[in-house]
């Protein structure tokens, strides 16, 4: 699959203190939506929007937000998410997971005044559909 990617967009990103009585749970939602191009857009190509909405719950804080990216799929029509294979979904979503990993490391390093929290979403070539979260580690322990 040949892709031309637009810049990733951080729509919002939050680091929030977690109160002890907060019963929030970790949630990650990965979505794809075919978009329409203008009348000059090549008919054999597709535009695909990708978005990850997330809430990552840790013992003392919560990270949440939304990141997105527009992708141009060259020489292929995609009309619905089901037109993509698991491997293609992983390929399209990977840059968005990397942005979340990087932001989380940097923000938690500053907020906690110690080495940041290292997220590891796709290091074991896990399928986004099957196990989106992968491993979430904080100083070597699973959360």
User: Does the pTM exceed 0.85?
Assistant: no
Q: What is the rounded CA–CA span in Å between residue 33 and residue 26?
A: 23
For 81-137, what is each residue's pLDDT tens digit?
888 998 999 999 999 999 999 999 999 999 999 999 999 987 655 444 444 434 444
For 56-72, what is each residue's pLDDT tens digit?
999 999 999 999 999 99
Q: What is the rounded CA–CA span in Å between residue 84 and residue 73?
A: 11
Q: What is the rounded CA–CA span in Å between residue 117 and residue 89?
A: 26
Per-residue pLDDT, averaged over 15-25, amounts to 94
Q: What is the rounded CA–CA span in Å between residue 22 and residue 62?
A: 10
The pLDDT of residue 116 is 94
In percent, how much of the chain has pLDDT > 70?
Answer: 85
- Cα angle 67, 25, 99 (rounded to 5 degrees) comes to 20
Closest C-alpha to 81, from 53, 52, 49: 49
Q: Are 44 and 77 in contact (CB under 8 A)?
A: yes
């Amino acid at each position: 699959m040949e892709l031309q990617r637009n810049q990733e967009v951080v729509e919002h990103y939050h680091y929030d203190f977690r109160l002890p009585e907060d019963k929030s749970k970790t949630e990650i939602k990965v979505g794809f939506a075919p978009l329409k191009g203008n009348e000059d857009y090549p008919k054999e190509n597709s535009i695909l929007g990708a978005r990850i909405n997330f809430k990552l719950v840790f013992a003392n804080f919560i990270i949440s937000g939304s990141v997105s990216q527009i992708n141009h799929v060259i020489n292929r029509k995609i009309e619905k998410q089901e037109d993509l294979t698991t491997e293609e979904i992983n390929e399209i979503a990977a840059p968005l997971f990397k942005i979340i990993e990087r932001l989380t490391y940097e923000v938690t390093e500053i907020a906690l005044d110690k080495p940041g929290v290292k997220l590891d979403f796709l290091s074991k070539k896990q399928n986004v559909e099957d196990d989106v979260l992968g491993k979430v580690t904080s100083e070597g322990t699973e959360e």
